[in-house]
Structure 1
Amino acid sequence: MNITIYDIAQKCGVSIATVSRVLNGSSRVSEKTRARILEVMKDMGYKPNPFARGLGLDSMKIVGVICTDVADIFYARAVSLLEEGLRRHNLDVMLSNTGEDRGRNSKYITDMTAKHVDAIITIGTPFSSEKDIRQLQQVAESVPVITINCDYHLPNMYSVVCNEKEGMRKLVHWLAEKGCRKPAYLYDFLTYSGRHKLDGFYQGCRELKLDVSDERICQIERTLEAAEASVDRLVASQCEFDAILTSEDVLAVGAQRAMLRSGMNVPVVGWNNSILAQCATPTLSSVDNKLASLCAAAVNLVITLTENGGDAVPVRTEFSADLVERESFRL
């Protein structure tokens, strides 16, 4: 087992910063605490990495970031925000792009830890199988693991999430207030985020006693073409709907294309408030899931956990979602 300063700190009941001060010969540690830490290091067979120590505080100054597909506009922006925030603290990013989650992604976790990163940040849900999550939990015993828009509810992990279930529930209510009582919903993957959005949709419909027809709820691929085809089918089948909600902006753009082609005019609402929403014609109303705030909070967690030992750090940080109303929302 690779013993780290996190293990030493936990065994001694002190912060990581205190262990680091002992390693670097700082005078800001009492002799009693210094003796205790050195004794535990000896008992546990801890051997500092000379290269890492040369960088200061037994650190490689690298944070691992794992997501499924950096080509996706949401993940690309998240990686950019994280890299920008971490570099302000002289930390570099090591990126791992897992591709589709097939339940066998644990190798990306082990590869990352083998490179002695100081912390790991996951974006979305790159790990869903029991084996992968168990591997991630094991890593969390050695280095901080922060999840963005996913919460495994496991020890030593820290989650930063947007309450997208409540955001979707409120969106259904907002639409109903405008007279839209037969919303269609297009969604893609049932990830942590995807499940919460779908649950919020159903909850809002139940509260308002809206007619929830299976025909109006469509799970499709995350592409423009799939969204257009889905809306074309709804129109051709003469299915009644008076608004279209989607789990992603790209689906909303495709849905809006199909609506304009058919000559229909109903509110279309995307999700993520990405650049796609601003570039669409008409401009696209979208739910802002506060990605910038999520990433900033994740960076702050990394700094607090690695420099201060995680004293009084919340295991879950939650933000609310807000609707950004643009032209596509106007009846």
Structure 2
Amino acid sequence: MMTIYDIAREAGVAASTVSRVVNGKPGVKEETRRRILALLEKYHYSPDVAARGLVKQSTRMVGILIEDIRVSHHIESAFVIEQELTKRGYCSIIMGAGAEEEKKLESIRLVEQRRVEGVALIGSMFSGEAVQRGIESYLSGIPVVLVNAYMELPNVSGVVIDEEKGVESCMELLHGRGRKRIAFVTDQETPSNRRKLEGYRRKCREYGLNPEPLIYRVGERSVEEGRRMTERLLTEHPETDGILYSIDLIAAGGVRAAVDKGYKLPEKLALMGIDNSIYGEMCNPKLSTLDNRRYDSSVIAAELLRLGMEEGIRSQRRLLPCRILERETT
């Protein structure tokens, strides 16, 4: 592998001149710069990032934590953040933190040991007390960004999706289409799902409905579990004419169950998911969904993290509205 000294020797210049070209600094004649750039390209020269980091006391490393790498919308968010920061010259470590609070705390400790310069935590599950203790104990000197969560710490910023208002908009759409008995099928207990349920309950009360009998919880996040729970819901409450699902994944199972039971969608039964994932587009009929702007929130999170690392730590809270994507099930 060619070093900066090999390039300098062949170009007939000092190593410091090659360094100025590599780092885009002025003070080099244009003819000399072109000659050095041609040699850099010829030998596929790549600067030693680790060595440069030692000089600058910078690692250019970022930690990205998600609870479960099998959850598609969280890993997609991690991918967007990683790609955005790669454009800026950062390298990302992506870790699965696990569902237990103490495992999240341990993951925060582990990522701090990698000398990261910033950390992104993806999902509302990272808003608990153990995570806050971890940030205060291990990450207080670097910027931290939460996606779909926020906590009031001086080095923490958050991009929060207004899913509560988004669910209210879904209820307004369904009620406006004449739906009188709207159920809600949710998955695991998370701050995000609690906000969704609060929006659902508020609108039910406004429409004179008792929401509690029509709230069903699946045992796990899967298409099959969504199918099974929808079959049970429609058997126990055959008067149901609308169903909201906390994520598209279980809603896809709901579409399958409704079709298998002979329901005409959306004439007799309207269905909506949340998160605008690939599962909604793969359904037949295609699933209407609440777009919680996963891509937008991830881009904003990456930019907030970059600004914190390059321009100084600050605390910000961004609230993003959702938008409804109507397809064939409403």
With normalisation by structure 1, the TM-score equals 0.79
Which position in structure 1 is the counterpart of 2:14? none
Identity of aligned residues (%): 27
Pair 279,83 (structure 1): closer, same or farther in 2 beyond 3 Å: same
SS at match of 1:327: coil
Pair 89,128 (structure 1): closer, same or farther in 2 beyond 3 Å: closer
Aligned length: 278
Pair 51,89 (structure 1): closer, same or farther in 2 beyond 3 Å: closer
SS at match of 1:234: helix
Pair 127,318 (structure 1): closer, same or farther in 2 beyond 3 Å: closer
Computed over aligned residues only, the root mean square deviation of the Cα atoms, in angstroms, reads: 2.1
Which position in structure 1 is the counterpart of 2:157? 158
Q: CA offset at residue 196 of structure 1?
A: 0.7
Which position in structure 2 is the counterpart of 1:269? 272
Of 301, 305, 310, which aligns to 1:302?
305
1 CA distance for matches of 2:280 and 2:329? 10
Which position in structure 2 is the counterpart of 1:18? none
Pair 56,207 (structure 1): closer, same or farther in 2 beyond 3 Å: farther
Aligned amino acid, residue 172 of structure 1: M
Which position in structure 1 is the counterpart of 2:281? 278
Q: CA offset at residue 222 of structure 1?
A: 1.3
Aligned amino acid, residue 180 of structure 1: R
Is 2:195 the partner of 1:196? yes
| Runs (5+) with no aligned partner, structure 2 | 1-48
Which position in structure 2 is the counterpart of 1:317? 318
Which position in structure 2 is the counterpart of 1:63? 62
1 CA distance for matches of 2:294 and 2:55? 31
2 CA distance for matches of 1:112 and 1:244? 41
Q: Which has the larger radius of gyration?
A: 2
2 CA distance for matches of 1:207 and 1:237? 24
Q: How does 1:65-104 map to 2 (within 5 A)?
A: 65-104=64-103
Deviations 1:241-263 (A, max 9, x none): 11110010011101111000111
Q: How does 1:1-331 map to 2 (within 5 A)?
A: 54=53, 57-127=56-126, 129-209=128-208, 211-220=209-218, 221-265=220-264, 266-310=269-313, 315-329=316-330
2 CA distance for matches of 1:53 and 1:233? 61
| Runs (5+) with no aligned partner, structure 1 | 1-49
SS at match of 1:259: helix
1 CA distance for matches of 2:318 and 2:54? 30
Deviations 1:212-249 (A, max 9, x none): 24332111121112211111112222442111100100
Instruction: Work out whether residues 248 and 272 of structure 1, in 8 Å CA contact, stay in contact via their aligned partners in 2.
Output: yes
Deviations 1:190-209 (A, max 9, x none): 21211111111111212232
Instruction: Work out whether residues 67 and 126 of structure 1, in 8 Å CA contact, stay in contact via their aligned partners in 2.
Output: no
1 CA distance for matches of 2:78 and 2:262? 39
Aligned amino acid, residue 270 of structure 1: G
With normalisation by structure 2, the TM-score equals 0.79
Instruction: Work out whether residues 66 and 75 of structure 2, in 8 Å CA contact, stay in contact via their aligned partners in 1.
Output: no
